[in-house]
Amino acid sequence: MSTASIVYDIIGRFTMHSLPFYDMVQNPTKENLINGSIAGFAACVAVGGLVIVVAGITYLKKWRWLWSEWLTSTDHKKIGIMYVVIAFVMMGRAIIEAILMRAQQAWGLDGGFLSPNHFGQLFSTHGTIMIFFMAMPFLIGVINYVMPLQIGARDVSFPVLNSISLMLTAAGAILIMASLVFGQFSTGGWFGYPPYTEAHFLPGVGPDYWIWALSLSGLGSTLTGINFAVTIFKERAPGMKLFYMPLFTWAALCTSIMMIFAMPPLTVATAQLALDRYLGFHYFTNELGGDMMHFVNLFWIFGHPEVYILIIPAFGIYSEVFSTYSGKALFGYASMVLAIMCIAILSFTVWVHHFFTMGQGPSINAVYGIASMLIGIPTGVKIYDWMWTMFRGRVRITAPMIYAIGFIVLFVLGGMSGIVLANPSVDFQVHNTDFLVAHFHNVIIPGVLFGLIAGYHFWFPKVFGYRLDERWGIFAACCWTLGFMLAFFPLYALGIMGLPRRTVAYAQPAYVPLEMAAFGGALLIGVALLSLLIQLVVSYLHRDENRVPVGDPWDGRSLEWACAAPPPEYNFPVIPMVSDRDAFTAAKAFGTAYLPPAEYVDITLPKNAAMGPVIGALGFAIAFGLVWHIWWLVCLATLGAFATMIVRGFARDTTKTIPAAEVEAEYEQWLEVVRAATPVTRADETRPVNQGLADQTALGAAS
Amino acid sequence: MSQEVFHYPGLNLGKAHPRTHAIAQTTIFGFWVFLMSDAILFGLVFSSYVTSVHATAGAPGPKQLFDITSVFAETLLLLASSFTFGMASLSMKYSHSKRRLVGWLVLTLVLGAGFLGLETHDFLTMVAKGGAPEHSGFLSAFWDLVPLHGLHVTGGSIWLICLLGQIKRYGLDTRTKLDIMRLALFWHFLDIVWIAIFTVVYLAGLA
Amino acid sequence: MRVVGPGVRRWIVNTQPRHRPATAADRSCPRRWVGARFAWTVSLARCIALAVLVLMLGSCVGNEHMSFLDPQGPVAHAEAVHFYWIVGIMAVFVAGPIFLALPFFLWRYRYGNARAKYAPNWKDSAPVIAFTWIGPVLIVCGLGYFVWTDSHRLNPYRALASNQPPLQMQVIGYDWKWLFIYPKQGIATIGTMALPVGRPVTLHLTSATVMQSFFIPALGSQIYAMGGMVTRLNLEAMHPGRYLGENTMYNGNGFHFQKFTAVGMTPDRFKAWVKQVKFNGTPIDARILTAIGTCSTREQMIAAMPSLASTDGAIYLKDVSPGLFPAIVKAVKQGTTPGLAHAAQGGSGSRRSTTCKTPPPRLARAEP
């Protein structure tokens, strides 16, 4: 056995060239210097960030706290928070990448500063991160936190599974981060079409990073979907019929069912691509009976429902926001539920519109085009119903409402461009161009991201017990909206002018002004993200004057507002009885909110479990080993994962009990706070006087 | 018996096991949902197979590679194992002796192992005849679908061994009973998938 | 092509046709693509859009036509008309009501406006709900009609109505160039695709490498080119001119160089052009085929084989066998494509990719 083969056995495909600045040092051309510096800087930020976090935790002696309070926690609320933290970290990276790409294109007339390969990695990681490691964790985090509270449950049905899902998602995110430091990411885009991503054409580690990051996150999402669906079906408070559930919970139900159905196609597609790459199968190759269009079909059977998996929870958030900030019941509840169910079902019937240009017959194209347009019907209904919710309301323009209004305006435009694309004969002209890029950003940013940030504003006081700074919030919301318009409206024009997506450089001077405008918009979005960060810091520093311990800062309507902010670990001392929609509004109207229960009982909760972080770590090790062909690591980690599951099967003592007396003491203490608080009218809701107790005499109880 | 409340499709433990029955309402429902997701996975792999069935690209096809006798024997073994698992579930429900339950489970395991052994033999024969996955799109699809089922059976067998260990360690407590019920569903599900494989891959391939 | 000079390939450079202003294109476009009844609305919409477009396109309009809103062929023209209709219908029926009602609602029902009616429990009204559903259903029915008819009418596989038989062409996508084969004429080109004005062209497309998407926006639809498979596309140029052609499906580091110029010529000039290529072109051989199959931009390929150089940067080949295209399709299907075999050099995590995807040198466009 030669030394080289021993080294290969130990570190797999890793060489010095896998380090981001090695080429720059070896061959310092201008291009290598620029790209190496950017990549090296990004790697330093990733490693430096890790070092700072590790050092900080060590210095503050918080390892035990981190392990027992957070990483091993099975509390749906903490898991939700961790999901959202992952989402924000990844959003930071992906937005910086977006700004880099826009800068490259703005100066891309016959050149620019990025190498094509570097640019290819940027658009691939940007898309992959934004979909799988920003939007998905964000919405799963929000659902995790809010949904059990809204249905009056103590936790999700399978708390340990919840922790495993979180850690698998985290493992995928860390794998993508690792690609900054070790080797390169795929240049095959977020959908990684073969045969380009086959070993024959792209033999490096990039597509493998992509495959395994998606597999980890996809597995996590499937399990999450199962968990949420079962929770909503089985854990609702007594009396809460399906048609008493808040719209956000309905949205969570739709999304989870869609996850259960839509994630397997992704698993199959990436697994088959992995078989092609690792074992020489011929699923998607050009030759020997492979067919790349199988991948394209499978991917979009996942991919199209996926965009509705993303947007339906945001629809749910908008429903809560419009109704709460209009001081009014949601208009057309049943209609809204029917609409999201229609969207969920229709979303599985339209995937072919992603490749009208494949050369299939016109009838197939027309059928899928019309099916795509059909989705416009329930979506239109929802938009109308939100507007009718504001009709004869008392609309307060707060930060979440700015996002919501921006959403309606921009989403209508994005939906219109979607209808344009649903016409095969027009799609033939704008497919694969910047028009398409503009379209899906136009639905995903105002649709999904605005919704999630609105939800972040809306529920932040519930989660942390104090309100976010309103002025910075409004500033950020305006930056998001304007930045979005500036960044993406020019892309419609560029697409119509024939600019293909993913173009690193171009020869037409006519593109330059529009690209410059889009770059300005990207910078403004960067400012928006920065303002969100500043807002968080400012709010934290002023947290004492913005506390809302009573827990109902916005005169909320559903059960999550009925408990303290932040809520106790067990959510509700006694599971509430529900007899109406908008359960908390009804309770406030009848004066039954804030009453002590007849009797307190012991509460049983799951204990912390190391299963989640252990499986996550082993999942990461398996994936990393597979990417780099470090087979001993793969074998060890796989054995470890099996062993963990087997050992867990033998665990019996998995629950803990909180005695009734403790529950009572905590609850009485909170009731004291409630009695001491001054009820505020909606005019004062963003002022320090708002302690989270809503005045029912003025508006809420009127008429 | 007539008063029994059914919480979910399939064998319900019922009044004789009140605590397990209550918890099973969520647990087993959750497992059904998982099986649904797994069924979609198999459905897609099936559709991959069906669309690739003619993509033999000059490599050997079903007629050259499949040995119906051996596959039929595998089918019988797996069907029999499903039956024995059913007997195990019944003996749990009606609180027969632990030995009887363990006996049925061990028999299931033996039959499952027999299935896997025969299947491995078939696979090796196929490779010897030039039927390795890298030779054509059809073979790739075959080697994804059929071994995927085989891997599921292997996983189920490992789970079954662990369960036997749990029964030995803890006896038939709630957790063990829930696991047996879930594994039973899983096992029957794999049986159904095999029937589909037998029909779509082997019978249709040789027709 | 005003001057067919005596120089070696001087003639090829001057394929610049007379530039027509966009309004002239309007007048001459065949009516068969437009419902006559709606012609005036369509022309109004087109005028506005074209004005905007001309502003956007700036200097480029005079050089290469690059947008379907500046259509140079009946297909692109019909697609543009379809586009205006869809956008118009939605602007009026979808965006209009919402954009009018939203500001009104926000202002009228703002918090603090005590004069507006407040009905916190008004949450259901059968007529309103019926309206919210029926409105979108009607709009989608209308649009769906358009989708069905135009999908069939503009099916890229459907031959265009004409009194002339279509010109047959074959297109092969390589990394990072398109090879255009004229099988009847026995010639092939890279970088330029000449076609006679007023005569339909039927293209058969495949790829010798990864999936690509063939697209001439000013003429009509795009379609995928896939290895081992053949797709079809029918186009026609209405006016002589130069149109931007490209691949829109990302295929690696040289993706942005995979452009070509489609040149619409009068039938006489096209005939002359074919004759010139037959006379001046380089005979195709195995060495050239291997070079085409190697990952390179057109400029890199010419740099490697200077004998292929022409003054307009395109490559002109002659003695092309009509069996070339089917042979390539078959070879790709069997995995025996010349020039691609070298690509698989085993996995490497190296930053310096050792394969097909090696970056083309910076600004290869400017190199000789």
The predicted-structure confidence for A392-419, as pLDDT tens digits, reads as follows 999 999 999 999 999 999 999 999 999 9
Confidence band, pLDDT 50/70/90 cuts, at residue C63: confident
| Cβ-contact C198, C163 below 8 angstroms | no
- Count CA within 13 A, CB hemisphere, residue A333: 21
Query: Would the CB atoms of A290 and B137 count as touching at under 8 Å?
Result: yes
What residue ranges do the domains of chain B occupy? 14-206
Asked whether the bond before A195 is cis by omega within 30 degrees of 0, the reply is yes
- For chain B, which residues score pLDDT lower than 50? 1-2
- Return the closest-CA partner of residue A310 out of A484, A460, A172, A443: A443
Q: Which chains touch C (3 or more CB pairs under 8 A)?
A: A
ipTM, two decimals, is 0.94
| Cβ-contact A265, A301 below 8 angstroms | yes
Residue C322 or C10, more confident: C322
CA distance C99 to C295: 51
Pairing of strands C282-283, C315-318: parallel
| Cβ-contact A392, C119 below 8 angstroms | yes
How many CB pairs lie under 8 A apart between chains A and C?
A: 378
Query: CATH for B14-206, among 1.10.1660.10, 3.90.600.10, 1.20.120.80, 3.40.50.2000?
Result: 1.20.120.80
How many CB pairs lie under 8 A apart between chains A and B?
A: 114
> What tokens appear for A204 in the block?
């490096």
**Chain A residue closest to B33 (CA)?**
A226
Query: Would the CB atoms of C215 and A498 count as touching at under 8 Å?
Result: yes
Structure confidence by residue, pLDDT tens digits, A267-315: 999 999 999 999 999 999 998 999 999 999 999 999 999 999 999 999 9
Q: CA dist A463 to A72, A162, B190, C146, Å?
A: 19, 18, 44, 50
Tell me how far the alpha carbon of residue B113 is from its chain's centroid. 12
Strand partners, C263: C194, C242
> What tokens appear for B71 in the block?
């596959």
Facing B48 at nearest CB: one of A272, A288, A642: A272
| Cβ-contact A147, A252 below 8 angstroms | yes
Tell me how far the alpha carbon of residue C162 is from its chain's centroid. 21
Lowest mean pLDDT across A6-15, B92-101, B113-122, C344-353: C344-353
pLDDT of residue A31: 86
Largest CA distance in chain B: 62
Structure confidence by residue, pLDDT tens digits, C170-193: 999 999 999 999 999 999 999 999
Query: Would the CB atoms of A226 and B135 count as touching at under 8 Å?
Result: no
| Cβ-contact C200, C162 below 8 angstroms | yes
Residue C356 or C164, more confident: C164
Query: Would the CB atoms of A642 and B169 count as touching at under 8 Å?
Result: no
* Secondary structure class of A373 (helix, strand, coil): helix
* Secondary structure class of A172 (helix, strand, coil): helix
% of chain C at pLDDT higher than 70:
74
Facing C350 at nearest CB: one of A15, A293, A359: A15
Sign of the CA dihedral with A553 first, then A558, A562, and A564 last: negative
Query: Would the CB atoms of A650 and B165 count as touching at under 8 Å?
Result: yes
Query: Model-level pTM?
Result: 0.93
Query: Would the CB atoms of A233 and B29 count as touching at under 8 Å?
Result: yes
Residue A454 has pLDDT above 60, yes or no: yes
Residues in B closer than 8 angstroms to A283, CB to CB, are 48, 52, 137, 140-141, 144
Mean pLDDT calculated for residue range A155-183: 96
CA distance A19 to A23: 8
**Chain A residue closest to C123 (CA)?**
A331
* Secondary structure class of A542 (helix, strand, coil): coil
% of chain A at pLDDT higher than 70:
99
Closest chain A C-alpha to B96 CA, distance in angstroms: 23
pLDDT of residue C350: 33
Mean pLDDT calculated for residue range C140-148: 93
Q: Which residues of B touch A (CB under 8 A)?
A: 25-26, 29-30, 33-34, 36-38, 40-41, 44-45, 48, 51-52, 55-57, 59, 133-141, 143-144, 158, 162-163, 165-166, 169-170, 173, 175, 179
The end-to-end CA distance of chain B, in Å, is: 47
**Chain C residue closest to A15 (CA)?**
C350
Query: Would the CB atoms of A157 and B52 count as touching at under 8 Å?
Result: no
Query: Would the CB atoms of A12 and C140 count as touching at under 8 Å?
Result: no
| Cβ-contact A465, C38 below 8 angstroms | no
Residues in A closer than 8 angstroms to B162, CB to CB, are 646, 649-650
Query: Would the CB atoms of C350 and A18 count as touching at under 8 Å?
Result: yes
Closest chain C C-alpha to A13 CA, distance in angstroms: 5
Query: Would the CB atoms of A288 and B135 count as touching at under 8 Å?
Result: yes
Q: Which chains touch B (3 or more CB pairs under 8 A)?
A: A
> What tokens appear for A205 in the block?
């580690």
**Chain A residue closest to B25 (CA)?**
A234
- How does the average pLDDT of chain A come out, rounded? 94
